[in-house]
A and B are shown apart, each in its own frame.
Chain A
Amino acid sequence: SSHNSLEMGLLSVVCVSLFFSSTFAVDRGNFKTCDQSAFCKRQRALKPGQSPYRALLETLELSDSRLTLQLINDNNKVHLLLELYRLQGNMTRVKINELKPLKPRFEVPDVLIAEPPTEPLSVLSKDDNGVVLSLGVKNQRLIVSARPFRLDIMQGPEVLLSLNSRGLLAFEHLRLHKDTQAQPDGAEVKESVDGDQQQDEGEKGEDGESDKEEVGLWEETFKSHTDTKPNGPTSISLDFSLPGVEHVYGIPEHADDLKLKTTDGGDPYRLYNLDVFQYELYNPMALYGSIPVMLAHNTQRTMGIFWLNAAETWVDISSNTTGKTVFGKMLDFVQGSSENPQTDVRWISESGIIDVFIMLGPKPSDVFSQYASLTGTQSFPPLASLGYHQCRWNYNDQEDVKSVDQGFDQHDIPYDFIWLDIEHADGKRYFTWDPHKFPQPKEMLQGLMDKKRKMVAIVDPHIRVDSGYKIHNEITSKDFYVKNKDGRNYEGWCWPGNSGYPDFTKPEMRAWWASMFAYDQYEGSMENLFTWNDMNEPSVFNGPEVTMHKDALHGKWEHRDIHNIYGLYVQMATAEGQTRRSGGVERPFVLTRAFFAGSQRYGAVWTGDNAAEWDHLKISIPMCLSLGLVGVSFCGADVGGFFKNPSTELLVRWYQTGAYQPFFRAHAHLDTTRREPWLFGPENTALIREVIRQRYALLPYWYQLLYQAHKTGMPVMRPLWVDYPKDTATFTIDDEFLIGRDLLVHPVTEEGSRGVTAYLPGAGEVWYDVHTFQKHNGAQNLYIPVTLSSIPVFQRGGSIIPRKDRVRRSSTCMENDPYTLYVALSPKKFAEGELYIDDGHSFNYDTKKEFIHRSLTFANNALTSNNLCPNCNFLTSSWIEKVLILGASKPSKVLLKMDGKETPVDFEFDTSMSVLTLRKPGMNAGADWTLLLQ
């Protein structure tokens, strides 16, 4: 929760009046544009052209899996070292660093789950112009061109991707202060009038450089904050060309459409974790988290670029087809004069090295598993965390918590977690409880536990500077705080006032932090208390751009180097603490606002401080879709909108949307009126109850999808193109989405809507309305009239979805309940699905193989359950109470074949919708069985 009223109040009373007059929107002036970020401006001034870099082929060294080669910048004679790796799973890693930097440059640790396994590289040919390497699979070759240096990855005659093809490789080498240099060492500045001088630029630092050009090299001031930059200019840049690609996605977090836009004429997409107060939509401004991964997709192939760098990063995108109408493109095609569509991308980072992973797909699922093999998969959350979360800034006291809890029972609405924001702690000292409002936290937690419910309490990373506060004293005595440039503890303002920021980049610090979650350390905590890490960008109210000064120090590294990974470390240490408190038995649940590549391993992410506006409801879809594409499946937006009060219609629609997104939490700002689901009249209570119940009925499916995401990296909430990669109509859709492969959701996100048009993909496929079982053909735009109770959701013909239709007051209460199988037949009378069951909360599924994983297949008029994990071992008392077969014909007889016996099963057939209902077949959910329709 970001709340400017306190923030501003702390800083200046004068601001208050200013604030009142301002409109409800981000104060853009608080955040840098590319022009205001010296390195971005410098780098962006370079235009495509002949690269000054040359590969020195004579320096080529090839070990089994690694090729190294020196590059030289002909302008300044600085040598770089290029490393190329062929990685297992159809990936290529390209690293570029200075050959001999003055001191080491930062390489991001803790993101890759391991040193990526390599595969042998072999030289196919070599001459003066370059080297051709084999990438093993399918005629894939990597071509290193020497003069100018460039890399091309080819398959057969086709170029899949090129690096430095536009000559924008630029590497600002470390230098002594006097040895200043105005331009990045990279490409030629075409516009420069003294272009000739660029040739011997290396030696001309001292003479003739105008003052104007030196601005921002060794010091930079934004608003009242000066960044001292003791290391001078250190930025890096590289361009990528993607022939044949018109659609690129990813690089969250931005409040923008799913398909990334070209950035010509505007700012690049910015990646710099920031606490943005009241963010605006549809622009490339940075938000709370950064995942420097971009996906490129066309009908033939999906690829990914993972730019492993934690410093401030900007991404430029341009395209040669921008602005061309469909007609224009057709004309090109007809006339045969079409140039191949191409997207060009350029990455710019402030420090560190170039370390890029090129994921070559070719299928979307391949890219997901390639990226997962590098940074890990979504953590497998406790089942309960897929239920509904009730949050508010703040539930005031224990009495309040109790009455909200009772409210859910009184209104027969399920929920699993109730949340406490910052006011619960004693003076914003995290790990403590306000002695007046929460005098008996264990009593409160026990009360929730008695109802099989749970709680989340916030723990932010800013620590109140207060000698009476244990956490502060221990961090101080262990010298774990981040330091400012003078070596003293860095202090900044946040919720508690003056605060220190623990250096989460230190493993010892993280270990200590984790130990603070032990039951005997975190007083008042119990096993049903979980954690929320907010403000971990980190947010510093009085810092530059509301974050930490870039010249603050984390050991020997500057904050500049590590900024975007700080939030990941906070969540990592917190999740570790939660795991450890149970001796490694129980799965953690930690929500974070800031994130980086790899954050998916530690819990859930939400889209930060949105607002109760229809556009914010709409944007929740592309924002979570973008996160899902780059590994973070467990994503959600504050239901209802954080700032401002939603209209009743908006609130209902938001519940209907949020119930079909992975992380389902309602949250509200301190200044808003109460909005628990039963406060808007019986009709609206009923609408909200209904959709939360739909969520709970589908929990088995959600859980299975999270398991799949955890195992394979497949996103849970996905854009349509992931499963329909050849259907260009799906490439820009971001007002509807798939949950797994089998559910298609088109939420109603327009005020006063009377209908939506959903695109049902898949020529020759069918989709069933999950509420009416009406069948619709694929590959069509379907107009669906809606009322306030409508939530357009469709099940794919060909799928089997297990549900638990006996919805109870929390997910844990439903543990042993029977399943209903929803078998939606394809036109070929086929369907398949899975069923995953475990204890829902421990690591035993992993450590002891205690789970049930079954495949369900309907073919040849028989529905069969097969064991996908024969050596697994888990007993469930859940059984199959009902099977619905959509699109069926009426059988004469239904038999259950199990344990060598055949028993008849009662059934009903609804001819109007062709739904066959098998009554109470009764087999255990973990058993082998076949149901025969005769």
Chain B
Amino acid sequence: MTCVHLLLTLVFAVSLGTPVEIQGPRGVPLTKKQFYVENKPFTCLDGSRTIPFDRVNDDYCDCKDGSDEPGTAACPNGSFHCTNAGYRTMFIPSSRINDGICDCCDTTDEYNSGAKCENTCKELGRKEREVLQKMTEITKEGFLLKQHLIEEAKKGHQEKQIKVTDMQENKKQLDEKVEVLRTVKETAEQPEKEAKERHLKAWEEQKAAIRLEKDKAKMAEAFLELDDNADGFVSVSELQSHAELDADADGTLTETEAQGLMGGAEQVDMSTFESVWPNIKDKYHSESQPEEPAPVETPPDEVKEPVVDNDSEPYPEDDISEEEDEDDEDEDDYHEDDDKAPPTIKTPEKSHEDEDAMPPYDADTQALIDAAQKARDDFEEAEKALREMDDQIRNIEKELSFDFGPDAEFTYLYSQCYELTTGEYIYRLCPFNRVSQKPKYGGSETNLGTWGSWSGPENNKYLLMKYEHGTGCWQGPNRSTTVKLTCGKETVVTSTSEPSRCEYLMEFTTPAVCQEPANTDLSPHDHVEL
């Protein structure tokens, strides 16, 4: 709540000396007594008119400014001065004169109402002095603490700035290191890549040769099988015995079809069969192994070295980081080479298919791969270190950028949390971060707002903190909290309330708002704010 200038909250000094008996009209403060001269015409203080003196305090309002009735309730805008000897002097609105309610501790406001008022000024004065003394002590001590806090903060600030500077220097070096290592990595990866490709190519050539040989053997075998009469020729009719070669899938291989397969010839010899074989080999069923399904040939270019499974990455923690901050994904180069695990170990299960498994890298290639892997690891490590460094710098810079008050006296609150337990809830204030509320007996935490801004009055915005955009209220606004700071030796949350639904108010004491105690002898002075 903002402080409003109020009639009743005017601050008056405590009168310390013996009370001065004010003569003259009732309700006039000493400073204005001069305007009320017995038996001389009275001029309203606004100068609006002059009246006989017997009309001063005659319970009828003659002056527009109410100045002719300082001691009665006649004027709607008048004010009454109580001396309150022993306590602080005070102005009350005229409407509180003789209303049956004791407002002035010296009872002077109730002189004709029948209200039984007791003079409580001495007691009030004593209490107030006690409170004031205590407050002064607190303020004094708090102010000392504050100086300490300011120093600490300055020190901390400097340290942090130095640290940031250092870190930025380090970061520069790290940057360079990363770049160097990137070059190293790329340099090592080029020969690695070439060696791997060479290896692969060699293996593929080898595989092709093997396949060709196999095919030839199969062809020869087929020729022998087809050549039923063993005349060294495969004829159309011999071919027709293999119905599976039927091209139009009508179940029979006609003569014409068979002749077609044979390239129009009636019969072919072993060498000419080489040109027929490609036409039939896909469908051809060996007579010796009629049950065996046609071997499923893997297209050669799909056969690769064993591939590292993407699902079982070597850096499972990366998954987490990836999910948590997707923005960093661009910086993550972990996925750029999935095939970093070399096929050095042949798994025994796969050994029966010897010809399909790539043979291990030769020693030279392996050496290149190992070297490249190391360069990658080094690079990644350096890059990670750089990122961490960045984070640290960012955090410190963020902290340095907070408005911790004119003298950074609120710095110490940063990254701290303070709790207050009430009947039902535990309230938690983490300054410059967030406010939350948690049921005492289980239940989830509710965000009452995250740090917004200082929002005190213009002359001192550091008296209020505003936390906004907390958990939304049903059919209402998002929760928000105003934290009111008052001077205290301790840093504590002293109370919480919810004046409007979902708008919380928290009172918080801290030495950081303690002002330098006024070091003056308080002399009585009057001040009307109207």
A, B co-complexed: yes
Q: Which residues of B1-58 are within 8 A (CB) of A?
A: 1, 4-9, 58
Cβ of B281 within 8 Å of any chain A Cβ, yes or no, is no
Interface flags for A661-687 (1: CB within 8 Å of B; 0: not) read 000000000111110001100100100
Whether the pair A400, B497 counts as a contact (CB closer than 8 A) is: yes
* A409 CB contact (under 8 Å) in B1, B4, B8, B500: B8
Interface flags for B417-457 (1: CB within 8 Å of A; 0: not) read 00000010000000000000000000000000000000000
Tell me the bound Cα distance from A809 to B93 in angstroms.
10
B99 contact set on A, CB distance < 8 A? 452, 808-809, 813-814
* B95 CB contact (under 8 Å) in A678, A685, A809: A809
Nearest CB on A from B99, distance (A): 4
Nearest CB on A from B42, distance (A): 16
Whether the pair B423, A436 counts as a contact (CB closer than 8 A) is: yes
Task: Compute the total of residue contacts between A and B using a CB distance below 8 Å.
Answer: 80
Tell me the bound Cα distance from A265 to B441 in angstroms.
59
Cβ of B476 within 8 Å of any chain A Cβ, yes or no, is yes
Whether the pair A410, B9 counts as a contact (CB closer than 8 A) is: yes
Cβ of A412 within 8 Å of any chain B Cβ, yes or no, is yes
Whether the pair A671, B473 counts as a contact (CB closer than 8 A) is: yes
Whether the pair A671, B100 counts as a contact (CB closer than 8 A) is: no
Q: Which residues of B53-101 are within 8 A (CB) of A?
A: 58-60, 73-74, 76, 93, 95-96, 99-101
Tell me the bound Cα distance from A672 to B477 in angstroms.
9
Tell me the bound Cα distance from A102 to B498 in angstroms.
60
Nearest CB on A from B11, distance (A): 14
Whether the pair A411, B473 counts as a contact (CB closer than 8 A) is: no
A679 contact set on B, CB distance < 8 A? 1
Cβ of A919 within 8 Å of any chain B Cβ, yes or no, is yes
Interface flags for A424-453 (1: CB within 8 Å of B; 0: not) read 000000000000100000000000001110
Tell me the bound Cα distance from A806 to B503 in angstroms.
38
Cβ of B348 within 8 Å of any chain A Cβ, yes or no, is no
A682 contact set on B, CB distance < 8 A? 4-5
A9 contact set on B, CB distance < 8 A? 474
Whether the pair B475, A5 counts as a contact (CB closer than 8 A) is: yes
Cβ of B501 within 8 Å of any chain A Cβ, yes or no, is yes
Whether the pair A450, B101 counts as a contact (CB closer than 8 A) is: yes
Interface flags for A807-829 (1: CB within 8 Å of B; 0: not) read 11100111011000000000000
Whether the pair A410, B475 counts as a contact (CB closer than 8 A) is: no
Cβ of B316 within 8 Å of any chain A Cβ, yes or no, is no
**Given A5-B475, A409-B8, A670:B73 Cβ within 8 A:** no
A920 contact set on B, CB distance < 8 A? 58-60
A5 contact set on B, CB distance < 8 A? 474-475
Tell me the bound Cα distance from A672 to B59 in angstroms.
44
Nearest CB on B from A16, distance (A): 7
Cβ of A805 within 8 Å of any chain B Cβ, yes or no, is yes
Task: Please give me the residue from chain B that is nearest to A450 by CB atom.
Answer: B101
**Given A436-B423, A806-B74, A410:B7 Cβ within 8 A:** yes
Cβ of B499 within 8 Å of any chain A Cβ, yes or no, is yes
Whether the pair B501, A671 counts as a contact (CB closer than 8 A) is: yes
Nearest CB on B from A8, distance (A): 10
Whether the pair A919, B60 counts as a contact (CB closer than 8 A) is: yes
**Given A808-B73, A881-B74, A674:B500 Cβ within 8 A:** yes
Cβ of A327 within 8 Å of any chain B Cβ, yes or no, is no
Nearest CB on A from B137, distance (A): 26
Whether the pair A412, B93 counts as a contact (CB closer than 8 A) is: yes
B76 contact set on A, CB distance < 8 A? 693, 805-807
Nearest CB on A from B155, distance (A): 41
B contacts with A, residue count (CB < 8 A): 32
Whether the pair A817, B73 counts as a contact (CB closer than 8 A) is: yes
Task: Please give me the residue from chain B that is nearest to A395 by CB atom.
Answer: B499
B476 contact set on A, CB distance < 8 A? 671
B100 contact set on A, CB distance < 8 A? 452, 812-813
Q: Which residues of A522-552 are within 8 A (CB) of B?
A: none
Nearest CB on A from B497, distance (A): 7
Task: Please give me the residue from chain B that is nearest to A668 by CB atom.
Answer: B500
Whether the pair A671, B6 counts as a contact (CB closer than 8 A) is: no
B58 contact set on A, CB distance < 8 A? 920
Whether the pair B423, A806 counts as a contact (CB closer than 8 A) is: no
**Given A410-B6, A672-B501, A678-B4, A451:B73 Cβ within 8 A:** no
Task: Please give me the residue from chain A that is nearest to B498 by CB atom.
Answer: A396
Q: Which residues of A693-723 are within 8 A (CB) of B?
A: 693
Whether the pair B96, A809 counts as a contact (CB closer than 8 A) is: yes
Cβ of A20 within 8 Å of any chain B Cβ, yes or no, is yes
B6 contact set on A, CB distance < 8 A? 410-411
B113 contact set on A, CB distance < 8 A? 816
Task: Please give me the residue from chain B that is nearest to A3 by CB atom.
Answer: B475
Cβ of A19 within 8 Å of any chain B Cβ, yes or no, is yes
Tell me the bound Cα distance from A671 to B476 in angstroms.
6
Q: Which residues of A407-429 are within 8 A (CB) of B?
A: 409-412
Tell me the bound Cα distance from A674 to B477 in angstroms.
13
Task: Please give me the residue from chain A that is nearest to B422 by CB atom.
Answer: A436
Tell me the bound Cα distance from A399 to B502 in angstroms.
18
Whether the pair B501, A670 counts as a contact (CB closer than 8 A) is: yes
Interface flags for A644-674 (1: CB within 8 Å of B; 0: not) read 0000000000000000000000000011111
Task: Please give me the residue from chain A that is nearest to B99 by CB atom.
Answer: A813
* A673 CB contact (under 8 Å) in B60, B95, B503: B503
Whether the pair A412, B500 counts as a contact (CB closer than 8 A) is: no
Whether the pair A806, B95 counts as a contact (CB closer than 8 A) is: yes
Task: Please give me the residue from chain A that is nearest to B497 by CB atom.
Answer: A396
Interface flags for B508-521 (1: CB within 8 Å of A; 0: not) read 00000000000000
Task: Please give me the residue from chain A that is nearest to B95 by CB atom.
Answer: A808
Task: Please give me the residue from chain B that is nearest to A815 by CB atom.
Answer: B100
Scoring A410, A412, A812 by chain B CB atoms within 10 A of each residue's CB, the highest score goes to: A412
A809 contact set on B, CB distance < 8 A? 95-96, 99, 101
Tell me the bound Cα distance from A396 to B497 in angstroms.
9
Q: Which residues of A258-317 are within 8 A (CB) of B?
A: none
Tell me the bound Cα distance from A807 to B7 in angstroms.
16
Interface flags for B143-166 (1: CB within 8 Å of A; 0: not) read 000000000000000000000000
A671 contact set on B, CB distance < 8 A? 473, 475-476, 501-502
* B500 CB contact (under 8 Å) in A451, A673, A812: A673
Tell me the bound Cα distance from A436 to B503 in angstroms.
20
Interface flags for B449-484 (1: CB within 8 Å of A; 0: not) read 000000000000000000000000111100000000
Nearest CB on B from A877, distance (A): 10
Whether the pair B60, A19 counts as a contact (CB closer than 8 A) is: no
Scoring A16, A436, A678, A813 by chain B CB atoms within 10 A of each residue's CB, the highest score goes to: A813
Whether the pair A672, B60 counts as a contact (CB closer than 8 A) is: no
Whether the pair B60, A452 counts as a contact (CB closer than 8 A) is: no
Tell me the bound Cα distance from A19 to B502 in angstroms.
20
Task: Please give me the residue from chain A that is nearest to B73 by CB atom.
Answer: A806
Nearest CB on B from A629, distance (A): 36
Nearest CB on B from A609, distance (A): 14
Task: Please give me the residue from chain A that is nearest to B476 by CB atom.
Answer: A671
Nearest CB on B from A449, distance (A): 10
B73 contact set on A, CB distance < 8 A? 806, 808, 817
Scoring B6, B96, B101, B423 by chain A CB atoms within 10 A of each residue's CB, the highest score goes to: B101
Interface flags for A898-912 (1: CB within 8 Å of B; 0: not) read 000000000000000
Whether the pair A881, B60 counts as a contact (CB closer than 8 A) is: yes
A805 contact set on B, CB distance < 8 A? 76
Tell me the bound Cα distance from A682 to B530 in angstroms.
12
Scoring A399, A693, A816 by chain B CB atoms within 10 A of each residue's CB, the highest score goes to: A816
10 A-B pairs besides A412-B95, A674-B500, A881-B74 with CB distance below 8 A are A5-B475, A19-B475, A396-B497, A396-B499, A410-B6, A671-B502, A673-B500, A673-B501, A679-B1, A816-B113
**Chain A to chain B: the 8 pairs with minimum beta-carbon distance, closest first:** A813-B99, A920-B60, A673-B500, A674-B500, A808-B95, A671-B476, A410-B6, A808-B99
Return 27 A-B CB contacts under 8 Å, by A number: A5-B474, A9-B474, A19-B475, A399-B497, A400-B497, A410-B4, A410-B7, A410-B8, A412-B93, A436-B423, A672-B501, A673-B500, A674-B503, A805-B76, A806-B74, A806-B76, A806-B95, A808-B73, A808-B95, A809-B95, A809-B96, A809-B99, A813-B101, A814-B99, A881-B60, A881-B74, A920-B58
